[in-house]
Amino acid sequence: MLLEFISNAKLLVNTLGYKIFDSVEDSSIKEKEDPLFFYIQAARGANAKGIIVADGFAVLKDSVIAASTVPSMADSLIRLRSELLQKGIIDASFHFTKDYIFSSPSLAAAIVMGRRANGRTEWKTSEHKSIKDIEEEGLKQKKS
């Protein structure tokens, strides 16, 4: 009975758009045997690894965010960054303590880099292809 209640609570909260109970294990990443990893290495120590998941973009455990933010960073992004630090999702040395799902690659990139960012162009594979590049290649293949 308790498990049914928890399941219903997760469904309701996710329906409202909050991914607080989601983990990478709960997402579609488990269905993929060989996920495509994306990376950001940027100013102020940012060094992160992530993957595209059904509900957005997951930044993986041990990724490092920039130690500071730029003055022009939006207040909402600064608040989210602070919340992640307060909740222990990001530790005092700016490392993710667990995998965390963001609603979009851009939000993930902004938190990692400490500034506004277009995640479709900032996250790149080890072959230096951005999410945008891969999406465009996929469209070209569909047209062929």
Phi, psi for 116 (deg, rounded to 5): -60, 145
Give the integer Cα–Cα distance in Å for 53 and 82.
Answer: 24
Q: What is the pLDDT of residue 140?
A: 73
Condensed to tens digits (0 to 9), the pLDDT of residues 118-127 reads 999 999 999 9
Tell me the three-class secondary structure of 62-84, residue by residue.
Answer: CCECCCCCCCCCCHHHHHHHHHH
Q: What is the pLDDT of residue 29?
A: 45
CA dihedral 122, 128, 130, 135 (to 10 degrees): 180
CA angle 77, 26, 42 (to 5 degrees): 35
Residue 28: pLDDT above 50? no
- pLDDT, tens digit (0-9, with 9 covering 90-100), for 61-70: 999 999 999 9
Q: Where are the domains of the chain?
A: 23-133
For the residues 23-33, what does the mean pLDDT come to? 51
What secondary structure letter does DSSP report for 127? T
Instruction: Please tell me the distance from the alpha carbon of residue 4 to that of residue 41, in angstroms, as a whole number.
Output: 42
Mean residue pLDDT of the chain comes to 84
